[in-house]
Chains A and B, each alone.
Chain A
């Protein structure tokens, strides 16, 4: 009785496992770079160019947040050869030695980068990361629905929006706290509990007024569900391209600047090919394809010169020196982070 059943069991399982292996066999490629990137960063033709020139195939995985990326890496997700962490996750990954060092000898195109980016607070000298794009956080306004006052906008335009029923804040506690901290003339990296507590009570008032929290306000701006949105510059510029009435502003009090970088996880087994990929997209012409497709702001000074005049001078993409001086990177908050997260939960409870 028992033996037959065991035989059936093994037969069934063998069939299933055989099937799985058969199907997987056709998917696993040896010479494939696995890249974990943000959605829509690389247009298909740019990747095809890369594959044509180098013979290296590319497989993309999209992440929707830095945290998702970090969670995958922390738990030991292997298999990625290139990741695109933002600045504050980069610093954490560096501290945890989860990144392989960048070898400048394998990146002859590195000199195209603007010198400003060689002295970033989270990775001075670009030992582990190579900036790919940068952006700011500000306010997008649909100017056909809401009139914007003359002169520079203040964060109060978001926090005390004239059209609060169609206003969104980013669903990101650091960004929301920063908006209020900037408005109050404080540092976005403040760890002072008393002032954070104050900020919290301000946010809770804003929360009651605005329509929603969302990290992807772009489709809602286009559908006109939203007229005022706390937004990343990239999304705002893309929205502007589809609807010119949507304009992006960096408030006069200053704002957050962020970079998305190339980095190689220390678990990668294709470090040389990964450098090849980075180098390929540092080359101004190739960089231009990517930059133009999604209207990204590039830290690549040679690419920037190839852009149309209007884009080069667009202050929402390339802030003036004066504005740049007011922009800040988000830093790791260390032991203040759990307190902040508790405040965030409190706010929403």
Chain B
């Protein structure tokens, strides 16, 4: 079906254009000899410089490690919750529903501060572990909603049929339910990873001695001095996010979750 309302499509493309303006500018800047003046000609040196700045590799590695661990934690918890609650999710008392949705809705600043106080009062050393746990604390709820939807699509008769044929409940889970929700698990994991990889504010509050994640590093580069590597880095990060979106969007069920970051 062709879209017929030219006004709406004009507004759509204008909005998209405006959204891309800052990003296109960043990419453009990454190739400028002099980042503050476009007349200076083009160069690849900032991108090359990026590859031998250890100051950027370490935060990158931290971010990846934190992302992998927190996504794994979130996917375990979120899936467990969804497996237990998907049948009755519509009848849950409002208190529990609110509790599940809260981590998604609360302003990040409050999540960050409350977790900070929580960790400090528990005498946890701020650092790697606290950031992992903090990230999982909000991404688990995202994963939960993806998995509930995934499970709801599952034909309940499949499980029943398996049981009728003599399968034990554990076998039903491992051999019937799990293989069918694998795509959801992968999509959810990727989502949780990206949420963690992108997060700035919660890491800002919960990271302590000796830990810098990539977004924290970008923030300090941006505030503390002029660093043309930052422009090279922006280009690389924009490429990464493009790849992640393409990966996620190929998974239908996680599509609408893509934006919640």
Residues on A lying within 8 angstroms of B by beta carbon are 1, 4-5, 7-9, 12-13, 15-16, 19-20, 23-24, 27, 34, 36, 39-40, 59-62, 64, 72, 75-80, 216, 218-219, 222-223
For the A-B complex with A12-B80, A39-B220, A75-B116 known, give 15 more contacts whose Cβ atoms are closer than 8 Å. Answer: A1-B169, A5-B84, A7-B170, A8-B173, A9-B80, A13-B76, A16-B72, A16-B76, A20-B132, A23-B65, A59-B209, A76-B121, A216-B223, A216-B224, A222-B226
Contact B129 A59 (CB under 8 A): no
Among A12, A62, A64, A77, the residue within 8 A (CB) of B76 is A12
Interface size on B, residues (CB 8 A): 35
Q: Mark B111-136, 1 if CB is under 8 A from A, else 0.
A: 00000110011010111110010000
Q: Which residues of A are found within 8 Å of B210, using beta-carbon distances?
A: 34, 59-61, 79
Contact B209 A36 (CB under 8 A): yes
B interface majority secondary structure: helix
Contact A219 B209 (CB under 8 A): no
Q: For the complex, is B69 an interface residue (Cβ under 8 Å from A)?
A: yes
Among B73, B209, B226, the residue within 8 A (CB) of A77 is B209
Contact B73 A16 (CB under 8 A): yes
Contact A4 B170 (CB under 8 A): yes
Contact B72 A19 (CB under 8 A): yes
Q: For the complex, is B83 an interface residue (Cβ under 8 Å from A)?
A: yes
Q: Bound state CA distance, A16 and B136, in angstroms? A: 11
Q: Which residues of B are found within 8 Å of A39, using beta-carbon distances?
A: 220, 224
B164 CB to closest chain A CB (Å) equals: 16
Q: Mark B52-76, 1 if CB is under 8 A from A, else 0.
A: 0000000000000100010011001
Q: Bound state CA distance, A51 and B76, in angstroms? A: 41
Q: Given A15-B72, A24-B128, A77-B126, are A219 and B225 also a contact pair (CB < 8 Å)?
A: yes
Report 13 cross-chain contacts, Cβ distance below 8 Å, ordered by A residue. Answer: A5-B173, A8-B80, A8-B173, A12-B80, A19-B69, A24-B128, A61-B210, A61-B211, A62-B212, A77-B125, A79-B126, A80-B209, A222-B226
